[in-house]
Chains A and B, each alone.
Chain A
Amino acid sequence: MELFDNLLLGLSTALQLNNLIYCLIGVVIGTAIGVLPGIGPIPTVALLLPFTFGLAPASALIMLAGIFYGAQYGGSTTAILVNVPGETSSVVTCLDGHEMAKRGRAGPALAIAAISSFFAGTVATVVIAVLSLPLAALALKFTAVEYFSLLVLGLFAAVILAHGSVAKSLAMVFLGLLIGTVGIDVNSGVARMTFGIPALSDGLDFVPVAMGMFGLAEIIANLERPAVRQVVSQKLRDLIPSRADLRAAFPAMLRGTVIGSALGVLPGGGAALPPFTAYALEKKVAKDPSRFGKGAIEGVAGPEAANNAGAQTSFIPLLTLGIPANALMALMIGALMMQGIQPGPQVMTEQPELVWGVIASMWTGNLMLLVINLPLVGLWVSMLKIPYRLLFPAIVLFCCIGTYGISNSAFNVWLMLGCAVVGYFFIKVGVEPAPLLLGLVLGPQLEENFRRAMQLSDGDPSVFVTRPISALLLLVVAVMLLAMLSPAVLKTRERALAE
């Protein structure tokens, strides 16, 4: 069985002592930033990227991945206990989780959230393992033409399925693509839009862009809002859920896992969509929907399972096709590139121990999370007592040091400052910065494949619709765009994303 061979290979990588340690570091950092509102996984991963340079590729990715799914766990802890969603993905958990806590059932709520997440994480690991092989095999047949169409599909789908206005997000993708063209043109060796600045000849680094737009701009915007934070002191007497709790939660857990796994694979699915969808479904299938919002355990189990499953399966397009499903995966691509690995379908065959090691590490990481979250929950909650007035200067400083650390250049720090101002402007005019990051990371690949495809076809753009796979991919893009114009779909999307 090839699947088992692969998983065993992965486990042997993930269980190496140093990889276990990096995995632990990743999930601990992830839980911490998940608990703390005001700093999300994107700036954290961007911050740590420069320091993964010296690690083996597998260790680097294992740690960064741990931050991502660890943040989902941490986010739900604060959602339940304090009614503050640490991450967007745990907004739904607040609804019923915090209600349960108010009724003195914080323990079972936390336990169910952790068990659901662990269960979903385990299933999602298997889903990744099963789906990866055929996808990678298919992708190996791709030429520049198909690859270009796939990138287009990835970008469009990410925009359409993410929240925010589609037109604005598309504009942001193009903005990102434009920034991606800065630097020396690979084909001709001519400097483009570098304005004579030597630091720009290698192109704009996406780490300062990500940290400026996601880290600093968020801080500036947060500081404008008055700080409201009340820590509910909850006695956690019994963490163990009753048999009735488990019986009620289990089907919801299963449904959540299925929804999360399916939506996570889609570009743009990422963290926000799965829990909302799972919550809506639980409400729909429940015999008595009025219980929701008043402490229904299904309302915790379903979304928690969905967000964890989704967080993990969003690695599938990255690992098999080299296409990031969301801004965070775009940073992962960056991590690969910093390691000198060109992301794409060939990674799976050329670096099997990397890919399978990362997949297997998700399971070990989830196990660690279960252990470090349930018994230590008090410790994490006490982190919330750190006031924001102290937290934010430290984050600002770490962003500065991290940006400087990529290539020891003060230029990058200035660049980050510029991006922070632009990012603040985007927040003010209500535009999501995530699509820009996707465009920036994918831009060079997109241009490269487009130019190669056009060279092959002698400048005839019809090649993209005459090759069957490429035509199919572009057809999906067209259908999605047309669907967005239909008012019915638009309304459903708004409801699903804005609930």
Chain B
Amino acid sequence: MTRRRFGWPDLLFGGFLIVVAAGTLVATRNLVGGTAADMGPGYMPRAIALMLLAFGVFFAVRGVLRGPVGIETVQLRPILGVGAAVGVFALLIESGGLALASFAAILIAAVASRESRFFEVILFGLGVTAAAVLLFVKALALPVSIWPW
């Protein structure tokens, strides 16, 4: 397999650092750098970004030279399920209230696991939603509405 030639973990991590560093340098291009004695707001971010760039290049090169190391296959189901649950919660919490957002998050998160059972999740979701409302709104006084209306 040709894909296995590189040390993928190092190469990907190095690439990630290079992208972050480059992004930082672009995002801070308009900030004043200043001198060492009188640093401007751009001094530290740029200095750190250059360090990251160096690390990134180091890992990327090491990844190309050393190998072959693969990474575990990414399974889509867990990451999509958990991700969607969090996303839906963020969308619903302000307009839909805590009860709706919680119930939806539990149901969607359960999709992330193959072992989830339909009725069990519904019952469990109702229970946890009630517990969350009692705990966070009643006991801990989180200022959030419970219902959409």
From residue A193, how far is it (CB to closest CB) to chain B in Å? 5
**CA of A83 to CA of B124, assembled, Å:** 28
Flag if B140 contacts A428 (CB, 8 Å).
no
A107-122 contacts to B, CB under 8 A, are none
- Per DSSP, chain A at the interface is helix
Flag if B37 contacts A455 (CB, 8 Å).
yes
Check: A405 CB closer than 8 A to any chain B CB: yes
Check: A220 CB closer than 8 A to any chain B CB: yes
With a 10 A CB-CB cut-off, give which of B40, B44, B112, B116 has the most chain A CB atoms: B44
**CA of A197 to CA of B40, assembled, Å:** 21
Flag if A459 contacts B83 (CB, 8 Å).
no
Check: A142 CB closer than 8 A to any chain B CB: no
Flag if B83 contacts A429 (CB, 8 Å).
no
A159-214 contacts to B, CB under 8 A, are 167-168, 170-171, 174-175, 177-178, 181, 185, 187-188, 190, 192-193, 195
Check: A24 CB closer than 8 A to any chain B CB: no
Q: Which residue of B lies closest to A404 (CB)?
A: B93
Flag if A393 contacts B109 (CB, 8 Å).
yes
Flag if A193 contacts B120 (CB, 8 Å).
no
Given contacts A178-B24, A219-B82, A397-B89, contact A392 B136 (CB under 8 A): no
**CA of A399 to CA of B24, assembled, Å:** 29
Check: A292 CB closer than 8 A to any chain B CB: no
**CA of A221 to CA of B75, assembled, Å:** 9
From residue A383, how far is it (CB to closest CB) to chain B in Å? 16
Stretch binding the partner chain, chosen from A271-279, A334-342, A408-416: A408-416
Check: B65 CB closer than 8 A to any chain A CB: no
Measured between beta carbons, the chain A residues less than 8 angstroms from B41 are 185, 187-188, 190, 192
Given contacts A171-B59, A181-B48, A188-B32, contact A401 B142 (CB under 8 A): yes
**CA of A402 to CA of B71, assembled, Å:** 32
Q: Mark B88-121, 1 if CB is under 8 A from A, else 0.
A: 0111011000100110011101101101110011
Measured between beta carbons, the chain B residues less than 8 angstroms from A426 are 13
Flag if B109 contacts A430 (CB, 8 Å).
no
Given contacts A178-B24, A193-B45, A393-B110, contact A410 B94 (CB under 8 A): yes
Given contacts A178-B52, A187-B41, A408-B143, contact A398 B115 (CB under 8 A): no
B26-55 contacts to A, CB under 8 A, are 27-28, 31-32, 35-42, 44-45, 48-49, 51-52, 55
Measured between beta carbons, the chain B residues less than 8 angstroms from A451 are 39, 44
Flag if B93 contacts A175 (CB, 8 Å).
no
Check: A389 CB closer than 8 A to any chain B CB: yes
Q: Mark A450-478, 1 if CB is under 8 A from B, else 0.
A: 11001101111100000000000000000
Q: Mark A377-404, 1 if CB is under 8 A from B, else 0.
A: 0000000000111101110111111001
**CA of A331 to CA of B32, assembled, Å:** 32
From residue B103, how far is it (CB to closest CB) to chain A in Å? 9
Flag if A416 contacts B86 (CB, 8 Å).
yes
B93 CB contact (under 8 Å) in A216, A410, A430: A410
Measured between beta carbons, the chain A residues less than 8 angstroms from B24 are 178, 193
B48 CB contact (under 8 Å) in A178, A400, A430: A178
**CA of A397 to CA of B136, assembled, Å:** 12
Flag if B36 contacts A461 (CB, 8 Å).
yes
**CA of A392 to CA of B110, assembled, Å:** 8
Q: Which residue of A lies closest to B62 (CB)?
A: A167
**CA of A399 to CA of B83, assembled, Å:** 12
A216 CB contact (under 8 Å) in B82, B107, B141: B82
Flag if B13 contacts A389 (CB, 8 Å).
no
Measured between beta carbons, the chain A residues less than 8 angstroms from B91 are 410
Check: A417 CB closer than 8 A to any chain B CB: yes
**CA of A467 to CA of B69, assembled, Å:** 46
Given contacts A400-B105, A420-B86, contact A171 B136 (CB under 8 A): no
Measured between beta carbons, the chain A residues less than 8 angstroms from B112 are 220, 223, 392-393
Q: Mark A424-458, 1 if CB is under 8 A from B, else 0.
A: 11101111000000000000000100110011011
B89 CB contact (under 8 Å) in A174, A190, A223, A413: A413
Given contacts A171-B17, A175-B17, A175-B20, contact A397 B59 (CB under 8 A): no
Flag if B37 contacts A454 (CB, 8 Å).
yes
**CA of A233 to CA of B85, assembled, Å:** 35
With a 10 A CB-CB cut-off, give which of A193, A396, A404, A455 has the most chain B CB atoms: A396
Measured between beta carbons, the chain A residues less than 8 angstroms from B28 are 192-193
Measured between beta carbons, the chain A residues less than 8 angstroms from B83 are 417, 420-421
**CA of A207 to CA of B23, assembled, Å:** 24
B86 CB contact (under 8 Å) in A185, A390, A413, A424: A413
**CA of A133 to CA of B86, assembled, Å:** 45
Check: B9 CB closer than 8 A to any chain A CB: yes
Check: B67 CB closer than 8 A to any chain A CB: no
Flag if A390 contacts B93 (CB, 8 Å).
no
Q: Which residue of A lies closest to B140 (CB)?
A: A51
Measured between beta carbons, the chain A residues less than 8 angstroms from B102 are 397, 401
Given contacts A193-B45, A417-B86, contact A397 B124 (CB under 8 A): no
Flag if A430 contacts B9 (CB, 8 Å).
yes
A296-325 contacts to B, CB under 8 A, are none
**12 more A-B residue pairs beyond the given contacts A414-B87, A460-B37, with a C-beta to C-beta distance below 8 A:** A192-B31, A220-B78, A223-B75, A224-B78, A394-B106, A396-B105, A401-B102, A404-B93, A405-B144, A420-B83, A425-B12, A454-B36
Binding site for A on B (CB under 8 A): 8-10, 12-13, 16-17, 20, 24, 27-28, 31-32, 35-42, 44-45, 48-49, 51-52, 55-56, 58-59, 71-72, 74-75, 77-79, 81-83, 85-87, 89-91, 93-94, 98, 101-102, 105-107, 109-110, 112-113, 115-117, 120-121, 124-125, 128, 132, 136, 140-144
**Those 5 A-B pairs whose CB atoms lie nearest each other, nearest first:** A459-B37, A223-B78, A185-B41, A393-B109, A459-B36
